[in-house]
Chain A
Amino acid sequence: MVNGQLSAAERHSARLTEFQGSTPGTAAREALGMLSHLPQPGSESWKYSPVNRLYEALENGPSGSASDTDIAALLAQADTTRFPLIAAAALELASVTRVQLGNGDRLEPESFAAQEQGCHWLHVEVAEGATAQLIQRGGTAKGLAAITTIELKAGATLNHSVSGASNSGTAWHLHSIDAGEHSHYHRHQLSLGGQLERNDVHVRLVGRDAQATLTGTLLCGDKDRSDNQIVLEHQAPNCRSTARYHGLANQQGKLTFGGRIHILPEGAGTDARLHNPNLLLADTAEINTKPELEIYNDDVACAHGATVGQLNDDAVFYLRSRGIPLTAARALLLRGFVGDGLGGPDQDYMTTLTNARLTQWTL
């Protein structure tokens, strides 16, 4: 076991000694090498969540039993430069699941909650031309890293629902999606926060004419922290991406949203839009939002915006003037704000969770 306050070098050597008796394979050695690039506490992309607590959660889980082949596959599948934390997760892998989805398939993997702890990797491939659904429900009381990598082959469509559950502990969720030529990726996300929840979503539009549509509802109350970082990376011509994340923070919740549109030189004809409207429902809550653009091609259309507002008093009064009690009026407005953020194949479940939380907030 290592402590979260260790330096990168100490972490590296501590991790090495755990391989005593057996020699780390090539991939494991590569991952070990990457540990020295782990994000430092307080670094730009970890400004609002303590990365050390995630390390601890990862390292305290059941120790890694992954084969060198699995480690190598994970390192190759996602962007380790952008997410060096993958290396730490790879060394701790507790389970690896690979699934191929054909036309009409619907996959509902076992909820993360059942897996309790450790690092879990799910790889999903949607076959060429197939339309499929993926439904993930999660939340855990302890520490967890869940990496989901998705590959959409040419012309594939995936309707993907992701929802966290209440009372989650420390969790890192990384979703890395590669969308091939003419493929469509639709994401519907609900996050309910947790002691420390960090959600990274990395959409790479790798084939021409690929499309990604993301909607999200981020609710953060109690003393929870919810840190959500979305990257839309356009690597090929004529791709479209749209992301709309609605954030609500209440009580002493601390909600963070980072949205980055990254257009590579190959991304001519890109159309990318990212919006993050937020409602701050209590003075004690906190919302941090930061839109970022990184563009290396002139032939693109981008729109990018974030707002933080409060519940509109005039709207509350308008509803009350028609006989709707104050708490119901507030609940109606909060649900209205979330609006069409709750769609997709798991809409009913997500709506139930959201309504329960919003009702709790307005009582």
Chain B
Amino acid sequence: MLEISNLSASVGSKAIIDGLTLGVPAGEVHAIMGPNGSGKSTLANVLSGRPGYTVTGGSLKLGETDLNELEPEERAIAGLFLAFQYPTEIPGVSNMEFLKAAIDAQRAARDEEPLDASSFIRQARATAKELDLDPNFLKRGVNEGFSGGEKKRNEILQLLMLQPKLAILDETDSGLDIDALQVVAEGVNRFRAPDHAILLVTHYQRLLDYIKPDRVHVLAGGKIIKSGGPELALELEERGYGWLTDN
């Protein structure tokens, strides 16, 4: 579903991604691990089309769609979703209003029937509840004054409401307490489906106990330097990255 080949990208004038190749087929979960500053969030931002991040070489495709041609909102409509490492606070715009606007915009762009207000509210409340988020969070400003963990759960709320094809989760597990980690993992597992793909950025093997990955990749120096099965995460937990980056 996601095909990245020989991608190079820079932030401003600084080259960060340097010849990265990665494929995530539909139905699979791939984890990306790697040292701080290795370019994991940069990759996620490049995929989402964040202004300031430029592709300097290679290609990124979602299905048959060349992502690099698209505006951020068009990528979302094509089925890409990024759960941010640091979700933005938007005071004054309620979570509910925001979610409704996003769903309406996506449906309209795909020529689908609009979701009626009462089904939307019902669905939003039910999803919030599944994620242990008080329904009052729907009325509050988007991420406004949310704790770190609440922001992460709010990202998963959006994921479940928007039902994209590809979900990129950038350290959605950091800052979560043990119970919240489980709640979020359950949410993500509910999203797993034969026609959905997931790219998980994480520092901790623990998350992978809850969300079993098909593949684990190590990103360092702007490229994938090692790939393996779930056992690679265990090995990294034990040995760190030195044995990989030193050669």
Residues of chain A touching chain B, judged by Cβ–Cβ distance below 8 Å, are 312-315, 317-326, 328-329, 332-333, 335-339
Contacts and interface: CB of A to CB of B under 8 A. Distances in A.
B72 A317 contact: yes
A181 B45 CA distance: 58
B73 A315 contact: no
Given A317-B51, A336-B91, A323 B76 contact: yes
A317 B90 CA distance: 11
B152 to A, nearest CB: 14
Contact of A321 (B48, B90, B109, B142): B48
Contacts of B162: 322-323
Nearest to B51: A317
B92 A339 contact: yes
Contact of B141 (A314, A325, A336): A336
Nearest to B94: A336
Contacts of B73: 320-326, 329
Contacts of B92: 333, 335-339
Which secondary structure dominates chain A's binding surface? helix
Contacts of A322: 73, 76, 81, 98, 102, 105-106, 158, 162
A319 B51 contact: no
A320 B77 CA distance: 10
Nearest to A339: B92
Task: For chain B, give the interface size range.
Answer: 20 to 34
B101 interface: yes
B48 A332 contact: no
Given A313-B51, A336-B93, A320 B72 contact: yes
A318 B90 contact: yes
A338 B162 CA distance: 27
Interface in B70-91: 71-73, 75-77, 81-82, 84, 87-88, 90-91
A321 B162 CA distance: 12
Contacts of A315: 88, 90
Q: Which of B50, B82, B87 has the most CB of A within 10 A?
A: B50
B66 interface: no
Given A322-B81, A325-B73, A333-B93, 9 more contacts: A318-B88, A318-B90, A321-B49, A321-B81, A321-B82, A322-B73, A322-B102, A323-B102, A324-B73
B80 to A, nearest CB: 9
A321 B105 contact: no
Nearest to B103: A323
A319 B101 CA distance: 9
Given A317-B51, A320-B72, A328 B90 contact: no
B87 A318 contact: yes
Contacts of A335: 92-93
A230 B75 CA distance: 47
Q: Which of B50, B88, B91, B141 has the most CB of A within 10 A?
A: B88
Q: Which of B81, B82, B98 has the most CB of A within 10 A?
A: B98
Given A314-B88, A323-B102, A332 B93 contact: yes
A335 B97 CA distance: 11
Nearest to A314: B88
Given A323-B102, A332-B93, A332-B97, A318 B76 contact: no
